[in-house]
Amino acid sequence: MNLIKQVAAGNMEAMQALYEMYKAKVYRLALSMVKDTYRAEDIMQETFYKVQQKSCQYTRQVSEQAWIMSIARNLSLDELRRLKRESVNADGNYAEQSLVFTENYESEFLDMLKVLKKVDQEIVCLYLIAGLKHREIANLLDMHTQGVKKRYQRAIAKLKAEYLAEGVTYAGQNV
């Protein structure tokens, strides 16, 4: 029996095991989307709350990891929509958002991704950070697997070209 089904049966040790197994990936995915450590932590906690709540709805059509990451992605998108609504002031202008990063490498990585289109940023993050397979990303984003693979390859090539040309270092190493 997989862990999510054990959680649905009330096994709290299985819930703890899921949390330990995926908390870092969920946090990094949320951080890559909302770009705020505190909000990412909140999303991580909310993700596992939802996993516990909705565990009886899980079907084996997707992997546990893909299911959990889709919950984290949806919560992150909800938070971005909420922030966008809140950031529009009375004049219709966007208020400045201050972003807090506690670790330089996370900030550098997120800055590197800014040269990519939003969908390509999401594909790269889901693949590299969340550890999803191209097929799982395709299902999550409602795209074809080959399209996801191509976009990923082009995004990585663009990042390499952009940052090798500038000689940018990442985490003390050349990119």
Q: Where are the beta strands (DSSP E) in the chain?
A: 169-170, 173-174
**Diameter of the chain by CA atoms?**
55
Alpha carbon 168 to its chain centroid, in Å, reads 24
Q: Are 66 and 13 in contact (CB under 8 A)?
A: no
118-175 tens-digit pLDDT: 899 889 888 888 888 899 899 888 899 999 999 999 999 988 888 777 655 444 444 4
Helix 64-87 vs helix 12-34: crossing angle, to nearest 10 = 40
The residue extents of the domains of the chain are 1-102, 103-175
CATH topology (fold) of 1-102: Rna Polymerase Sigma Factor; Chain: A (1.10.1740)
Q: What is the CATH number of domain 103-175?
A: 1.10.10.10
The tens digit of pLDDT for each residue in 69-106 reads: 999 999 998 998 888 777 654 445 444 333 333 345 56
Structure tokens at 61: 């059509």
pLDDT of residue 151: 95
Reduce the DSSP state of residue 173 to 3 states and report it.
strand
Alpha-carbon distance of 59 to 67, in angstroms, equals 9
DSSP-assigned states of every residue in 43-64: HHHHHHHHHHHHGGG--TTS-H
pLDDT digits (tens, 9 = 90+) for 43-63: 999 999 999 999 999 887 788
pLDDT of 27 higher than 90: yes
Contact between 31 and 107 under an 8 Å Cβ cutoff? The reply is no
pLDDT in tens, 28-45: 999 988 888 999 999 999
